[in-house]
Structure 1
Amino acid sequence: MPENAVKGPASYFPSIEKKYGRPVSEWLEVVRASPLTKHMELVSWLKAEYGLGHGHANALVAHVRAGGW
């Protein structure tokens, strides 16, 4: 793996954009705008409301909760 390879939740971002057709910045805003606060509540909500897969939803929530852009 290259030294500058993206790791962690952000490694899912290219596939999220490709699969769901929206930029990651929009998905991150969706997560931030939600009134839900618990990690798994947010993951479940993204899956139910937007049809995201578990890994993709988890990556978005983890990134936001870690203070990511």
Structure 2
Amino acid sequence: MADERTRGPASYFPSIEKAYGKPISVWQDLIRQRLPARHMELVAMLKAEHGMGHGHANALVAHTLATGR
């Protein structure tokens, strides 16, 4: 229990915020605005329009779609 590190896509969130200068909630709102786009369409949008790397974009989209919030 002492080691309760975040796992999965959310483990990328601190580095995403540092690298792109916006809180995760801003990126999630942007993703939700583009729904019902497909997963890879959303990843491509983040990469093309915001210069995000593939891993970061994929993690954001996966987590946002999985939580449904």
Establish whether TM, by shorter chain, passes 0.5.
yes
Q: 1:40 to 1:52 in 2, by over 3 A?
A: same
* Offset, 1:36: 4.9
Confirm or deny: 8 A CA contact 1:36 1:42 kept in the other structure: no
Q: Percent identity?
A: 59
Alpha-carbon separation, structure 2, partners of 1:67 and 1:11: 15
Alpha-carbon separation, structure 2, partners of 1:6 and 1:67: 15
Alignment of 1:1-69 (within 5 A): 3-67=3-67, 69=69
Letter matched to residue 39 of structure 1: H
How does the TM-score come out when normalised to structure 2? 0.89
How does the TM-score come out when normalised to structure 1? 0.89
CA RMSD, aligned part only? 1.5
Letter matched to residue 47 of structure 1: K
Q: Is there any run of 5+ residues in structure 1 with no aligned partner, and where? A: none
Counterpart secondary structure, 2:56? helix
Q: Matched residue pairs, number?
A: 68
